[in-house]
Amino acid sequence: MRIALFSTCLVDGMYPRTAQATVEILERLGHEVVYPQGQTCCSQMHVNSGYFDDAYPVVKAHVNAFDSWDFDVAVAPSGSCVASLGHQQPMIARKAGDEELARRAETIAARTFELSLLLIDVLGITNAAEQLNSYFPEHVTYHNSCHGMRLLKLGTRQADLLRTVGGIEYTEIEGLDQCCGFGGTFSFKNADTSGAMVSDKADNIEKTGANICTGGDVSCLMNIGGALSRKGSHVKTVHFAEILASTKENPLKVSGPVELAAAGGK
């Protein structure tokens, strides 16, 4: 299968190893991964802040970038960005009076999958240790991001894959369905509320006794990592793609400041 990588702007700019891990997993399964040139932002931040006119050229750039490449499906290591493609991009195009762009956006969105959704529903991966050779002998807990849970309806897919990683010890967090408080610009516009939310999340993470907190969105992990760092916590954050990519032969080594752990070296 020919799979196009939608790296997302935050992954590309701050957590490139999450994108590299995604590619590594898919190539390990024998698939060809391509990278459509010209991709930037999905426009989610613009739309969530009400800047619909500014979002239109961003949507157009994304659609043009992926429309110009030959691929079977696309994948992104981000539930929020994948949700934005189907939930927001066609709406922005139609508000601008561009029905053709709206239809093209819908076609691309229908072929774009969040990583766990692609692995389980499309590629039939149900056991990470057996099918991906994943190995990560650490105590891990997991944050369930809002967009994946509520818009993409991912359910337990990410956690299910994590539980099958070789050597892993998994403990579910109290308040799994509670938001971390990031919400893009929400954390800037409502800093006190956001801070209280992520503080609760950090407390619940530490209660698990885990030394790693993982999840499917680096934006949430960046927010959570910052809160843990401010507390002086030993807990590190890392995207679940990097855990799936970790093997006995090439293990993931989580080191460095908490909020940058998802970009830590192997």
List the CATH number of the domain containing 194: 3.40.50.11810
> Is the torsion defined by CA of 98, 104, 106, 108 positive or negative?
negative
pTM: 0.92
Q: How confident is the model at residue 264 (pLDDT cuts 50, 70, 90)?
A: very low
Give pLDDT tens digits for 4-21. 999 999 999 999 999 999
Same domain membership, residue 238 and residue 196: yes
Same domain membership, residue 163 and residue 251: yes
User: For the ranges 23-37, 98-112, 134-148, 189-203, which has the lowest average pLDDT?
Assistant: 189-203
Same domain membership, residue 259 and residue 190: yes
Q: Is the pLDDT of residue 63 over 70?
A: yes
Same domain membership, residue 145 and residue 84: no
Q: Is the pLDDT of residue 259 over 80?
A: no
Per-residue pLDDT, 149: 86
Picking from 97, 118, 139, the residue at the C-terminal end of a domain is 118
Same domain membership, residue 259 and residue 130: yes
Domain total in the chain: 2
Mean pLDDT (whole number) for 14-42? 96
Domain that holds residue 82: 2-118
Same domain membership, residue 52 and residue 22: yes
Same domain membership, residue 102 and residue 152: no
Same domain membership, residue 133 and residue 71: no
Give pLDDT tens digits for 223-258. 999 999 999 999 999 999 999 999 999 999 886 544
Picking from 118, 138, 161, the residue at the C-terminal end of a domain is 118
Q: Looking at residue 58, which CATH number applies to its domain?
A: 3.40.50
Picking from 73, 90, 118, the residue at the C-terminal end of a domain is 118
